[in-house]
Every structure is written in C-alpha cells, then in structure tokens.
Chain A
C-alpha cells in the first residue's frame, strides 16, 4: 500500500495531539481532583454529580433549623422541668394547708411562699429564644403571653405555633401555645367542679375530689340541697339546671323521698361521684358544674388569696377545705400537663437529633458517593501523567527520527 509522506506526518501529529489532549485532561484531574471538567464530558455522570450535590445542599440546608430548634426545645424542656417542680411545690403546700393543725399564720406563710411560686411561673412563661422572641406566645413572639388585665391573668398569644422545616416534608413547632402550657386546664377535676356556698351553708361539710363513673357524664349544673326527708333524716336532693330533679328520681316527691345523707359515703348521679365529709345542715347547698378553663396564674392567685383569708369558723374551715381540694385537683392536672411537656420536648429533641443525625449520614453517604464517582486521587493520576509524558516523549522522538530519515533520503 502506498503511504504518502503527508499521511505519515499527519499520523504522527494526530498521535501527538491525542497524547497532549490526554495529558491536559490528566493534569486537570491532578490539579483539581475532579474527574470531569464539563458535565458534557460524561453527561450521565454529570447529571448524577448535580443530583448528589443538590441532595447534599438540601440536607445541609436543614442543619441550621434542626440545631436552632433543638436548642430552643432544650430551653423549653428545662423550663418544663421547672414547671413540674413548681406544680409539686404547689401541691405540697396545698396538702400542707389542708392539715387541720395549720393555723392562720402558717397558711399566711404558705401564701407568701406560693406568691413566690406565682412570680416564678410568670417569669417562666416569659421564656424567650436566642432572638428574644417569647416561646410561649404561639405565633405572637413579640407579645408577653400572660398579662394581668382587669384583675385576672389573660393569655395574649395564639393557639397556633410557628413551624419550621426540619426536612423536606416535615415541620416542627418552634414555639408553644402558652395557653396549652399554663392554661387550658379545667377547674376541679377538669370536667366538673364542686363548689361550697359560703353564703348559705352553716354546716362544716365539704367535698372531696369529684370523680366520673361514666365515660359520658351528663353535662349540667347541679344543685345539691340538704333537706329533711319523710323519715326525719338529714337527706339531700340533686337538681340539674337542664336535667331537672335527679335525686331522688323525678317521679318521687321531695323532700319526702330524698335519700338520707351519710358522711363520707359516695353521692352518685348522672355519671358523677363524690363524697362529703363533715356534717352538713339542712339548707346547705353545693353546686356541681362543668369545669371552666383557666390558667395557673389565676388559680394560683386565688389560692394565695384563699390562704391569706383567716379561718375562724367551721364554715370557713369547710370553705377552705373545699377550695383546697378543688385547687389540688386543678394543680394535679397542671402537674400532669407539665410532665407531658417534659416528655413531649424530650421526645422531640430526640427526634430532632435523629433527623440531624440522619441528615448528617445522608450528607456523608452522598459525599462518599460523590467522592468515589466525581473525583480522582492525585496519587492515581500522577503516575498516569508520568506514563503519558513518557509516551509523548517517545512519540516526539519517533517523529524526529522519521523526519531525520526523510532528510537523509533527500540528502542521499
């Protein structure tokens, strides 16, 4: 086959050009550590690199939110533990105040102590995040959640909370509704409360905590009246504002058929049950009504005022016991609610930590894939550069030799 001088020349040049291009690529890889310069060098790999990089950016984008949230929740958890301690302290003081041996002076001391707890709780309700925003005001972070207005503490925040993204499809509350932390607790047992009527009552009876005996007690305001029945016994009737005569049943005449009262014996009607201790008198009244939602500050204020009020008569004593029982029921709920907050924040912090850990792992995993697929190790590339350079040198020499031979031929 005839091979022209030009063909030989071009073949050499093509090879040298090819080597130079290869060396340039390897040098770029050695210098940058990147396998590709342009995505089009390997469009499929380029697309994968983009996708991995975007994933990493996506995961890293949540790092700040999860760490800030975690820090805020730690603040709230710490605060919730303080609320829990306060609730226990309040219940201890209530139990202490219930002790018959305590006199007015003792109760005054307890009142002073509880006044301090009230201040402490109010202080806790004003918990703020690192940016100075209130954490217990829902979405209204620049508003102090509980303010004294017209003689009572009122919630100024919202029930909705500020949500922050912690992953692509998940949001987490960054603030809390103060109402759900310090309020939203029904007086009494949360469903019903029983009240002593200090203006009518002359006896010294008072009720212990009210319980429900049915999952759906009949919601009504009931009045329990002490009467004398046909047998001349101290008896009671119960009448509901909506239900009408409940005890004895409506078909039976009152007071003749009213059931006899026995101290510390359960009085049950319409799914409710409670006991009266002490000795009531005919004409004494107790009211059983659905609970009213209130916050701890009003309830604690009432408790402080109650303890400050001197107890001189049996009726005062009964009234005190009745209200202390009601307060105990209320603050038991506050205790449970605070306990729930401690638990909830703990779970959420763990969840956030797991999300952060998962995000970190995903970034790590993506990064590993990215390193494997998109980068080259200089120690792998440099020998290849050396090899290619040697190859280029041989090519160049060969090219020179061929040119030399051509020259010799011409000289010949």
Chain B
C-alpha cells in the first residue's frame, strides 16, 4: 500500500464525516423549523485507496405532502379568518349571551313601555318612557349600522394589508427563482427551504397551484391558470371597486399593464375569508338591518299619523321620513358607462314588501328595461319604457324616472333601504306628540232603544277631506236607522242625506264604510247588535284625546304583527331571525374551522414525518459520524506514526 493512500483515505474520510457532522448539526438545529426539510448525507466509495467522499446531500421532501400542507393551510386560514369575522358580527348583533343590549332588548323595552302607556295614556311619564325607548331603539340601529360600516372598512384595510403581504411573498418567490438559476446544489437546498417557507406563508392568504419548470423554477397560478408567478416574473394582485357592481370590491391580477378580475378565483385563504365577509355577510346583515329599520319606522310613522296627539293635533312621523326627498334621491347610483341622462328617485311604497336586496335596472334594448333583484338575480320587472316620466314598481319599491333619457346599456343600482339604519332618528322630541288617540269618536245616542254597539276600528286614510278641518270633521256624520235593518248616513250638521237605503244585519258586525255607493271618509266603523228604528249613532271629531289609547293600541299591535319579509315576521322575529342566521353561519364556520384544523394537523404531521427531523435519529447519526470521524482521525494518526517511523528509520 502506498503511504499517500492511507493519508488520502484518512483526509477524505475525515472531511466527509466532518461534513456529515455539519449536516447532522444543521438537521438538529432545525428540528423545530416547520418548513425545513431534513438532509440526508449519502457517502460514496471513491474507489480503491481513495476512501470515501460525500456523494450527495439529499433534501428529503414529498411534493404531495407539501401540496396537501399548503392546501390545508389555505383552507384553515380562510375558515379561521372567516370564523373570527363572523364571531365579531355575531357579537355586534348581540350573540353574546351576557349581552343585554341588542336590538331585541330595545324592541321589548319599547313594547313594554307602549303597553304601560296604553294603561294610562295621559301619563307624561309613561309617554316619555315610550319615547325614550324608541330613541334607544333608533340609537341602537345607528350604532349597529356604524359598527357594520366600521367592520367593513376594517375588513377592507385588512384585505389591503394581506394583499400587500401576498404580493411581497410572490415577489420574494420570484427573487428566489432568480437565485435558483445560478445556485449550487447545496445552495439550492437552502433556497428551496426558503421557498417552502414563503409558499406556506403565501398559502395563508390565497389559494394557488404550483408547478416547477425544467430549470426547477417555481411557477404559481390561480385555479383558472392565471399566472401569479412565472419563472422570475411576478405579477401582483390588487383591490379595486367592482366594474360591474356598485359598492362591491374586486380582486384584480395585474402585470402592470393588463388587469384581470380574479375575484371568483380567490376561493380560499384568509383573503377569501375577508372578501366573503366584506362582500356578502356585512352587506347582507346591513341590508337586513336597514330593512328592519325601514319597516319599523314606516309602520310606527304611518300609525302615528292616523292618530291624534295629546295637543289635539293629527299625529306626525315618529321617526324620520323614510321617503324624504333627499333619501329618495340617494337610493340609486348610475353605472360608470351610462350614456343616458335619466333622473331617478326611489320611493318605498310598501315597506312590508321590501326584499332588503339591491336591484339592477338595466336598459337592455331600445325602450326596454329589466329590473333584476340582486339577492336571487331574478327579473322582478320587465317591460317597455316610453318617454319619461315613467314609474317602475316591484317588491314595494317605486322607481320614478322623472326626466332625461335612457340609452341601451345604461345601468342603475337601486338600493331602496341604503343608509336607513344609520339615518333612523326620532322625528318628534315631545312625548305629547305621540298620537295615542284616534281623531274620531263614534258614540250611540243616549236615547237609543236598541242595543247597537258602535266602534271605530281604525283610520284608513287621514288625507281625506273629512279631516281637513281644524280639529273637526267636515262634516261630522250621523247614522240614523230608518228601520231595525235599514239606515242612512247624514251630515250631522245639517241633517242632509249622504247615503241612504243601507242595509244592516244585526246578526253580525257591519262595516259602515265604504258604503256600497262608494262613500268612504277614511274611517273604519263597525256596528253590531240589535238596533231599533230611530236609533242614532254620531261620528265626530275627538276633542278630548288625553286618555284615549285607541291608536296606542294599534301602535302596540304593530309589535306583534308580521310586517316584514312579505308579512312573515314581526319586528322582534325578524331581528331574531337575522341574529339566528348569523349565529348559525358562525357556528357552521367554526365547525368547518375545527375540521380544517384536523386536516391541517394531519397534513402538517405527514409532511413533518417525511421531511422533519427526529432528534434521536440525528443524535444517533451524530454519534455514528463522530465515531467515523474519530476513526478517520486515527487513520491520519496511524499514517503520521508510520510516516514518523519511516523518517526515524531513515535518520537512524
């Protein structure tokens, strides 16, 4: 054997095992690094008398496991983000059981206070309590609406932050691709670890697919193939206002020149969670809240206007007018590409029919329109439009096209309830303006021989001429029975006949108005019981409203009457339904999150079990390589000894 052979073998093996020890040390050092892929040293026999050297340092990974982990991170990130956001929404709406300040509470307070007030309608204290309850209710609508707006803006800010981080990650991956082009094998492993780390980070934000080109460079695409990263060319995503839908945001993919709307491609990751929350849940909750606000305002306003206040005046709106000119003008927005000049205003004609959704008014052909409901994309009205003015009605909404022109392609977004909860304010400040009395009294003459009972069932129209007098009916009316089953309606002032030959059925309640001939003063009167010829009933203005709670009873009944959602829900029922919907969705999302956690945990373990470090294993390697290293050193020592022996022999 050549002397240099053992020396060379010793040196080479020493170097090889030193390197192996380095690699093992590197593995041990990264045993807690999630994205790190362990390295395995492969020794190679360098041939007779050449010893051993490092054949390869393999980076252990499983691309399927990596992909699964990436996808599970994306899904978990979305469900976690989404569940967090929905939990916030749920708490805003009072989903925390310890919360005692939700809209339901204020609705119950208002109902309690109107009930108490109806027990003593003249009590200013009771009136003030009811008014205060209504003020609290409107304030709650205002604050909840503001919170939703703030949540919307906070979510958009988070979206912008996460989009920025996404772009940074894509950009870093492009840089890594650049470095990979020129990296040595050992550098490549480190770069691939870094790439893995950034991929996992990016996976938190958006869903993407990966592929590797012939140069080993990473490419990223969205589900539809749109490129996020191609070799060293990084594209970026951005948030912008939707080109097709008002008040909606879009995610666009841009290379700096061309923009592509990829909103529908972002289906997972925290950005997707934020986007869904921002684009669906907040608008839905806001629309439902606005609709509830409109229906409450409309119902209480209309009923109060049919009554008489403590000052003897006809009632006014309790809350701000839902159809004020300024509100009507704010309920639409014109498409960006409109060429027509139509002037619109949007009136709520029947709040009980409101869907809560927005609508798209589209001129699809010359003189022809479609009105599409946003919630289900159903055409709710369609037809030809002649010269303006025209009115389009659907779902309790009247769109008044007053003047100007409509051209093909023109689009308008109609938002009938937009801003309602935010703008809900008390219109009356003085509790005496609560119109708890009815403006009409109906009474039987004290000389009646029969047992007829008359009652005012309500006021159907306060705008009629009979109510145009100053605190009097014009004219007051009298029902005079000409026989036990026939009656006439007289002007009580001059006894002139207004309607005659009217038939009365004593076996059932009889509605007096409108008469078969069509006389309708806007008052609903019923008469029942046995009546004698000559009996009379007077219908007059109520000049003493202080204790009259008849309209107060109607106001009270509004709280228990289904008036929302095609008259399917009461005020409280609707609120509970909104909260229940949010809670249910939050619960489902939390359950999804728990499932995603399990999937993530399995994917993480799978990858870790392939690529992760086992300290015991590495410790064994360490011992093994250490021994080999020491043996190699011993080889050198032996070589040295031999060499020294030879030298000493030569000297002697």
Chain A interfacial positions (CB closer than 8 Å to B): 1-7, 9-11, 14, 32, 34, 36-43, 46-47, 49-51, 54, 57, 61-62, 64-65, 68-69, 131, 133, 139-143, 155, 158-160, 162-165, 168, 171, 174-175, 179, 183-184, 186, 290-293, 374, 406, 409-410, 412
**0 or 1 for each of B513-550: is its CB under 8 Å from A? (1 = yes):** 00000000000000000000000000000001011111
B619: nearest chain-A partner, CB-CB: A409
Docked-complex contact B456 and A65, CB < 8 angstroms: no
Q: Is the CB of A10 within 8 A of B579?
A: no
Q: What is the bound-complex CA distance between A9 and B590, given in angstroms? A: 25
Residues of A within 8 A of B95 (CB): 38-40, 46
- What are the 9 closest A-B residue pairs judged by CB atoms, nearest first? A4-B612, A141-B547, A40-B586, A39-B583, A43-B584, A40-B587, A43-B587, A40-B583, A4-B608
Q: Given A47-B580, A160-B455, 13 other A-B contacts at CB below 8 A?
A: A1-B609, A38-B87, A39-B587, A43-B587, A54-B572, A64-B119, A65-B118, A133-B547, A141-B122, A142-B546, A142-B547, A164-B549, A179-B446
Q: A39-B580, A159-B444, A160-B455 are in contact. Are A2 and B108 (CB under 8 A)?
A: no
| Complex alpha-carbon distance, A175 and B547, angstroms | 10
Chain A nearest CB from B40 CB (Å) reads 12
The segment from B28-36, B153-161, B368-376, B634-642 found at the interface with A is B28-36
What is the predominant secondary structure among interface residues of chain B facing chain A? helix
Instruction: Choose one: A133, A159, A168; the contact of B122 (CB below 8 Å).
Output: A133
Is B453 in contact with chain A by the CB < 8 A criterion? yes
Find chain B residues with CB under 8 A from A42 CB.
587
- When distances are taken between beta carbons in the complex, the residues of chain A under 8 Å from B32 are 5-6, 9
B608 & A46 in contact (Cβ 8 Å cutoff): no
- Specify which chain B residues have a CB less than 8 angstroms from the CB of A51 in the assembled complex: 576
The reply to whether A5 and B576 contact each other, CB–CB distance below 8 Å, is no
Total A-B pairs in contact (CB under 8 Å)? 191
A155 touches B446 (CB 8 A): yes
CB distance from B542 to the nearest CB of A (A): 8
Minimum Cβ distance to chain A for residue B98 (Å): 7
The residue that A162 contacts in the complex, of B104, B453, B549, B584, with Cβ under 8 A, is B549
Stretch from B9-17, B109-117, B286-294 contacting the other chain? B109-117
Cβ-defined contact, B548 with A61, below 8 A: no
Q: Enumerate B595-629 residues with CB–CB distance to A below 8 Å.
A: 601, 604-605, 608-616, 619, 623
Q: Say yes or no: B442 contacts A293, CB within 8 Å.
A: no
Q: Which of chain A's residues have a CB closer than 8 A to the CB of B123?
A: 131
Is A410 a contact of B553 with CB atoms below 8 Å? Answer: no
Shortest Cβ distance from residue B100 to the other chain A in the assembled complex, whole angstroms? 11
B614 close to A160 (CB less than 8 A): no
Q: B441 contacts A3, CB within 8 Å?
A: no
A31 CB to closest chain B CB, in angstroms? Answer: 10
Chain B interface residues toward A at CB < 8 A: 28, 31-32, 34, 86-87, 90-91, 95-98, 104, 108, 111-112, 115-116, 118-123, 441-444, 446-449, 453-456, 544, 546-550, 553, 556, 560, 572, 576, 579-580, 582-588, 590, 601, 604-605, 608-616, 619, 623
**How far apart sit A354 and B615, CA to CA, in the bound complex (Å)?**
78
B601 touching A46, Cβ below 8 Å: no
Question: What CA separation (Å) do A160 and B454 show in the bound complex?
Answer: 8
Which of B588, B590, B608 has the most CB atoms of chain A within a 10 A radius of its CB? B608
How far apart are the CA atoms of A167 and B344 in the complex, in Å?
46
A158 to B441, CA, bound (A): 8
Q: Shortest beta-carbon distance, A119 to chain B, in Å?
A: 22
A-B contact pairs, 15 of them (CB 8 A): A4-B613, A5-B612, A5-B616, A7-B609, A14-B601, A36-B97, A38-B586, A46-B95, A143-B544, A155-B446, A159-B454, A160-B454, A160-B456, A162-B548, A406-B616
A293: B residues at CB distance < 8 A: 446-449
Among the listed A6, A68, A133, which residue makes an inter-chain contact with B608, where contact means beta carbons less than 8 Å apart?
Answer: A6
Determine the chain A residues whose CB is within 8 A of the CB of B120 once the complex forms.
Answer: 131, 133
Do the beta carbons of A38 and B91 come within 8 Å of each other? yes
CB distance from B622 to the nearest CB of A (A): 8
